C-alpha cells in the first residue's frame, strides 16, 4: 500500500471505505500488516520501528495509518502483525532472529507497545517470521513476555508458512499453550491431520495472490467457503490487500483493489470487493461455523459447489447466514497451488432449519437473499445484488425449509440479517494519466520521519529528517546502517520513483554523505530501472574514494565504466548528481561537470524503467534533497492516436489503461470495437514476413470482414479468441510464445497453448491468462518499447 498515502484525503477515504467500512464494500473482518523490517518483502521495504537497538521510533511507516483508519471505520476489526524481515541487531548480526530470541521477542514487544501507547491500538494477533523457519524457543519465550508485559490478550499465530509446527505442538505442551492459532500459507483448502489434532483454530493466514480479474475472484470465492468445508480453516486472509504499489513490481494486481496512480486519483474496485461481502456483511468476528457432517450446516452440494453456515452464538441462537458457491473449476484457478478437477452444475437446493435457527427464521417470516454471478468475456457480472426476500414458515414438525437455485459461477447468501448489508460505492474515479513531468520535491512539506511521496524503497529505508543545514531544511536520509536479516536477498539500498515505462529521462538530486558513514560510502542515481533487490538499469555512483562508477545491475558488482571525480566529495558536503538518457546514450554530471557524456549503454538491456536513488553497493547514511525529474518519455503505455494499421502488442495489464487497450465485444457480430474510437476494430492487417501468419491489428470496422469476427470459445482453463479468418482455424496468439511487453500478437493455428489463452476482462482489456505473472493485455500501439 506504499502509494496510498500519496492520494488526496478524499480519495484515500473512498478507497478505505470500500475495504473496511461495515455494510458498504468488502467490510473486512481482519487486517494483517507487516511489522516493518527495513528489507524487501515482495514489493518494497517497510521501515522498522527500531533500525538499531537504541533507536525506537513509533511513527515510521504507513501501517499505523492503515490500522487506525481501519479501526476508525470498524472498531471491531481484528488486527494482526507479522515480520517479513528483521533488523540485523535482532539476531546478533547473524542471518536469523532465532539466534537471539530474547532480543527478537523484545523487538516484537516494542512494536506492540508502539501500537498501544502511541497509536491507541490493541493488536489482536502477532506472528513470528513470514514463510521462514519457526523457533519453538522464541514462540514460548514470546508467550511468556506477552503475558508478563501487559499483552495477555494478544494471541500468537504460527508459523505463517505450512502445517509442520503442528507435529511439534503435539509433543511439546508449552509450545501447544503458546500457539493459539496454527496458520498456513496457500494450503490448497486442506490442513494436515496433525493440525486438526491440535484442536486449535486453523487459518489460511495468507492465501489467493491471484490476479484480480473475475477468475481471481472465482478463486477467492471458492477459498472462502472451501477452506472451511474441506480444511476446517475458520479464517482466510488475502495477500495482498491493496495493489497500491508501482506497476512493474512483482504480483501486480493480486488484490481487492488497485490504486497505483495517486497523481491522477485513479483507482479500480475489483469484483472481489463485493463478492467478499457475501461473507463479511452477513457475519461478524466471533461467529461460529456449523460442522461439516450429516447433521451439520456446511458441506458439498450434490452437483458440485459448497455451502457454509455460520451462527451468531455457539448455541445456535441469534442470527445465522448460509453462503453458497458454485464456481466453475476452470474459472476459479488460483495461481497456487494446483486445483484438483471437479465439476459443477446449476442446482436447486433445499435447506431444512431446526432448533434455534428455525425459531429465528419463523419469527421473522422471511430470509434475506443476496446474489452474485461472475461472468466473462465482456459480459457484465452481477455483483452483490439484493433479491426479494424468501418467505418462510414452520412446517408441521417445527422445521423451516427454503429452496434456492445456485447457478454456475454464482455466490449466494441467505441470512436472517434483513437489514444492514448494503452495496456501497461512489462515482467513478478520475481516469488514469501519466506521471506529471516535470516534477520536483524539496521534502520541506513532510512530517518528520515520514516517507516522501512516490519514492518506493526496494532495499534500505528512507525518511524525512531535519538536515540541520538552513540551505536544505528537511531532506530524506537512508536510515539502515547494515544489511538486515532479509526475506528476499537484498543487496544495497535503492529507492525507485515514477513509471516503469519511462525511456528517455533527465533527472537530478542533491546529496550529502553523512559523517557517520564509512570511508567507502557513495551516493547513486539511476534510470530505466527494473527489479527489486538487485535491479537492472543505468546507474552512476560517486563516492568518498574519489571515483565515479557506472553499472547496469546493482547486484553483480560489475562496472560498465569508471573514472576520477572532477571535484572532491567529502562528508557533510552537499553536491548535485544528474543523469540523462536518450536512446542508447547516457550522460552524467557532478555539480554540473560531466562525468561522462553520450556513453553507449546499449548493452544494458534496459529499454525502460523507473528512476532511482541509492547508496551504491553498501548500506550507508546518505542524505538526498531537491529531487527533480526534468523530462521523461513514456514507452508502451503512451500510444500514438489510434489509427488503422497499428499492430497489436502485449503490455502489462496494470499499465494498459491507454484507450488502445480497451474493447467492447459484440456477441452478435463477434466484433471487438475500440471503445475510444468505434470506427476501429481488432482484426487482421498484412502478413508477418517471418512466419507468413497475419498480424492482429486495428482496422476500419467492416461487419462483412470475416477477420474482424472473433468467436470467444471456452477451452479448458480459459478462452481462445478464434478468428473468422480462413475457416476459423486460427486463434489470437503471442508470436513465439513471448511474454514480454511489446511482443507481437498474430493469428496462428489454434493449439490451446498458453500464448493463446485470453479473457476479456471487466475493463474491456484482452488479458493473457496463460502466463502466470505478470499478466499482459493485448492492445494496438505504435509506441512499441525498445
Catalytically active residues, by annotation? 131, 206
For 189, counting Cβ atoms within 10 Å of its Cβ (0-12 exposed, 13-18 middle, 19+ buried), the class is buried
* DSSP string for 231-261: T---EEEEE-SEE-S-BTBTTTT-SSEEEEE
- Contact residues for 144 (Cβ-Cβ < 8 A; gap 6+): none
CA distance 710 to 446: 53
Residue 662, all three cell numbers: 480497451
With b for 16 or more beta-carbon neighbours within 10 A and e for fewer, the 97-110 pattern comes to: bbebbebbbbbbbe
Q: What is the DSSP letter of 263?
A: T
Cα angle for residues 706, 661, 498 (degrees, 5° grid): 160
- Contact residues for 37 (Cβ-Cβ < 8 A; gap 6+): 45, 46, 48, 83, 84, 85, 86, 87, 484, 485, 487
CA distance 69 to 12: 10
The three-state secondary structure class of 102 is helix
Q: What share of the chain is helix, strand, coil (3-state, %, to 5)?
A: 15, 35, 45
Pair 706, 725: CB distance under 8 Å = yes
- Contact residues for 369 (Cβ-Cβ < 8 A; gap 6+): 386, 387, 388, 389, 390, 404, 412, 413, 414
CA distance 436 to 433: 8
CA distance 656 to 252: 13
Amino acid at each position: 500500500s506504499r502509494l496510498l498515502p500519496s492520494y488526496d484525503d478524499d480519495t484515500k477515504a473512498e478507497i478505505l471505505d470500500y475495504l473496511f467500512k461495515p455494510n458498504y464494500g468488502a467490510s473486512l473482518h481482519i487486517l494483517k500488516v507487516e511489522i516493518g523490517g527495513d528489507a524487501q518483502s515482495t514489493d518494497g521495504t517497510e521501515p522498522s520501528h527500531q533500525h538499531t537497538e537504541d533507536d525506537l521510533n513509533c511513527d515510521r511507516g504507513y501501517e499505523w495509518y492503515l490500522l487506525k483508519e481501519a479501526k476508525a471505520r470498524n472498531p471491531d476489526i481484528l488486527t494482526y502483525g507479522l515480520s517479513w524481515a528483521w533488523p540485523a541487531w535482532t539476531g546478533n548480526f547473524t542471518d536469523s532472529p532465532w539466534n537471539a530470541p530474547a532480543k527478537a521477542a523484545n523487538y516484537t514487544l516494542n512494536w506492540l507497545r508502539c501500537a498501544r501507547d502511541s497509536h491507541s491500538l490493541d493488536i489482536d494477533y502477532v506472528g513470528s517470521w513470514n514463510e521462514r523457519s519457526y523457533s519453538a524457543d522464541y514462540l514460548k519465550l514470546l508467550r511468556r513476555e506477552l503475558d508478563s508485559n501487559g499483552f495477555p490478550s494478544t494471541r500468537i499465530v504460527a508459523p505463517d508458512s505450512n502445517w509442520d509446527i503442528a507435529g511439534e505442538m503435539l509433543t511439546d505442551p508449552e509450545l501447544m499453550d503458546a500457539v493459539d492459532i496454527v496458520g498456513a500459507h496457500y494450503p490448497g483448502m486442506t490442513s494436515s491431520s496433525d493440525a486438526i489434532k491440535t484442536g486449535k483454530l486453523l487459518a489460511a493466514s495468507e492465501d489467493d495472490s491471484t490476479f484480480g480479474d473475475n477468475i481471481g475472484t472465482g478463486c477467492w470465492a471458492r477459498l472462502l467457503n472451501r477452506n472451511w468445508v474441506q480444511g476446517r480453516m475458520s479464517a482466510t486472509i488475502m495477500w495482498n490487500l491493496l495493489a497500491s504499489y508501482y506497476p512493474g513490481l512483482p504480483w501486480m494486481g493480486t488484490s481487492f483493489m488497485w490504486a497505483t496512480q495517486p497523481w491522477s486519483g485513479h483507482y479500480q474496485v475489483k469484483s472481489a470487493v463485493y463478492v467478499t461481502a457475501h461473507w463479511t456483511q452477513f457475519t461478524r468476528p466471533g461467529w461460529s461455523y456449523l460442522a461439516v457432517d450429516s447433521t451439520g450446516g456446511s458441506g458439498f452440494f450434490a452437483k458440485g459447489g459448497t455451502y457454509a453456515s455460520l451462527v451468531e452464538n455457539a448455541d445456535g441462537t441469534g442470527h445465522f447466514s448460509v453462503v453458497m458457491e458454485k464456481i466453475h473449476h476452470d474459472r476459479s484457478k488460483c495461481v497456487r497451488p494446483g486445483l484438483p478437477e471437479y465439476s459443477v452444475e446449476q442446482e436447486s437446493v433445499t435447506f431444512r432449519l431446526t432448533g434455534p435457527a428455525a425459531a429465528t427464521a419463523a419469527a421473522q417470516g422471511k430470509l434475506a437473499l443476496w446474489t452474485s454471478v461472475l461472468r466473462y468475456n465482456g459480459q457484465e457480472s452481477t455483483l452483490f445484488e439484493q433479491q426479494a426476500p424468501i418467505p418462510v414458515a414452520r412446517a408441521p414438525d417445527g422445521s423451516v425449509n427454503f429452496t434456492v437455485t445456485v447457478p454456475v459461477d454464482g455466490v449466494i447468501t441467505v441470512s436472517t440479517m434483513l437489514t444492514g448489508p448494503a452495496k456501497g460505492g461512489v462515482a467513478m474515479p478520475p481516469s488514469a494519466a501519466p506521471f506529471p513531468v516535470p516534477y520536483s520535491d524539496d521534502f520541506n512539506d513532510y512530517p518528520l520521519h515520514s516517507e516522501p511521496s512516490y519514492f518506493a524503497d526496494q532495499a534500505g529505508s528512507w525518511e524525512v529528517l531535519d538536515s540541520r543545514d538552513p540551505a536544505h531544511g528537511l531532506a530524506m536520509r537512508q536510515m539502515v546502517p547494515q544489511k538486515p536479516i532479509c526475506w528476499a536477498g537484498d543487496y544495497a539500498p535503492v529507492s525507485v520513483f515514477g513509471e516503469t515505462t519511462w525511456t528517455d529521462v533527465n533527472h537530478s538530486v542533491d546529496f550529502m554523505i553523512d559523517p557517520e558513514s564509512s570511508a567507502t560510502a557513495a551516493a547513486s542515481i539511476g534510470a530505466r530501472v527494473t527489479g527489486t533487490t538487485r535491479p537492472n538499469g543505468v546507474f552512476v555512483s560517486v563516492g568518498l574514494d574519489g571515483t565515479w562508477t557506472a553499472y547496469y545491475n546493482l547486484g553483480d558488482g560489475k562496472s560498465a565504466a569508471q573514472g576520477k571525480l572532477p571535484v572532491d566529495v567529502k562528508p557533510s558536503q552537499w553536491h548535485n548528481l544528474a543523469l540523462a538518457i536518450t536512446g542508447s546514450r547516457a550522460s552524467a554530471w557532478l555539480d554540473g561537470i560531466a562525468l561522462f557524456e553520450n556513453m553507449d549503454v546499449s548493452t544494458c538491456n534496459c529499454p525502460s524503467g523507473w528512476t532511482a536513488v541509492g547508496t551504491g553497493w553498501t548500506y550507508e547514511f546518505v542524505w538526498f534533497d531537491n529531487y527533480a525529474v526534468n523530462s521523461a518519455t513514456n514507452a508502451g503505455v503512451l500510444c500514438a492516436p489510434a489509427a488503422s494499421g497499428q499492430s497489436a502488442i502485449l503490455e502489462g495489464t496494470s499499465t494498459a489503461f491507454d484507450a488502445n487497450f480497451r474493447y467492447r465485444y459484440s456477441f452478435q457480430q463477434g466484433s471487438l470495437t475500440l471503445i475510444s474510437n468505434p470506427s476501429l476494430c481488432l482484426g487482421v492487417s498484412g502478413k508477418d514476413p517471418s512466419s507468413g501468419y497475419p498480424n492482429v491489428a486495428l482496422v476500419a470496422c467492416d461487419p462483412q470482414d470475416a477477420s474482424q469476427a472473433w468467436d470467444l470459445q471456452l477451452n479448458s482453463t480459459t478462452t481462445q479468441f478464434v478468428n473468422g479468418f480462413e475457416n476459423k482455424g486460427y486463434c489470437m496468439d503471442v508470436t513465439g510464445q513471448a511474454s514480454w511487453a511489446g511482443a507481437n500478437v498474430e493469428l496462428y493455428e489454434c493449439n490451446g497453448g498458453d500464448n493463446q489463452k485470453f479473457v476479456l476482462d471487466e475493463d474491456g482489456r484482452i488479458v493473457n491468462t496463460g502466463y502466470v505473472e505478470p499478466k499482459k493485455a493485448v492492445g494496438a500501439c505504435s509506441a512499441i518499447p525498445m
